[in-house]
Amino acid sequence: MKLILLRHGETMANKNKRYSGWTDYDLTEKGKKQVDAGIEKIIGEDIDYIYSSPLKRTLYTANIIGSKFNKEVKVDNRLKELNFGIFEGKTYKEIRNEYKEESKRWIDDYVNYRIPEGESLMDVHSRIANFLGEIKNTDKTYVVVTHSGVIGVILTTLLDLKLEKMWNFKIDPGCVVKMEYNDGFGVLLI
C-alpha cells in the first residue's frame, strides 16, 4: 500500500492558535496557497482512492484533488481530528484559565484523558486503526486528506511507534507525507 497524507491548509483557528477539532473553519488565503503547493507535490502519482475527513477545511483540498485526478472523494468520519469538546475554539491559555482541573488532567494524561464532551487520543487511535485495517493490506495508492493529529496517529500506528511519539512529527498546514506499508513495515518516502 502507498499512502499519501495531506493536511488541510491554514485556517483562522490555526492562525489564532485555537483548538479546532470538529469545529468547521474556512481556509485562509494562505491556506489555499498551501493546498495548491501540496497538490503540486502529488501530480504524477497513480492514485486509486481519495479519502477525506468530512470537515470543510479538508473537503476543499480533497475535492480539488478529486477533480484533477478524476476520482471520487470518499468522505470518512473516522478521519476527523480529535474532538476537543469543551476546549473547542479556545486557545491554550483560555483552556488553562477556564478549565483548570480538566486541563490539568488532560496535560497529565493526554493519551487517555477524554475531554468532557469530546474525545481522548486513544479514541482517535481506535477509529484510525479501524480505518487502516480496511486498507493496509492492499496494493493500492490512497490519498488521505485529514488533520495533523490524525496524520500523527497514522504515522505512529503504521511505523509501530508508541502513540506518544506522534508529537515527534511536525505536520504543517498543507503538508504532504508519503509512505509505503508492506508486510507490517512502514517506510516514509522522500
Contacts of 183 (CB under 8 A, 6+ apart): none
CA distance 15 to 88: 15
Contacts of 99 (CB under 8 A, 6+ apart): 86, 87
List, in order of start, the domains of the chain with CATH numbers. 2-189 (3.40.50.1240)
What are the strands of the beta sheet with 185-189, ordered from one edge? 73-75, 49-52, 141-146, 2-7, 176-182, 185-189
Give me the phi and psi of 2, to 5 degrees please: -115, 135
Decide if 125 is catalytic. Answer: no
pTM: 0.94
Q: Which of 1, 3, 7, 8 is catalytic?
A: 8
Q: Which of 78, 80, 147, 178 is catalytic?
A: 147
CA distance 12 to 20: 10
pLDDT along the chain (190 residues), means of 10: 96 94 94 95 96 97 96 98 97 97 96 97 97 93 97 95 92 95 83
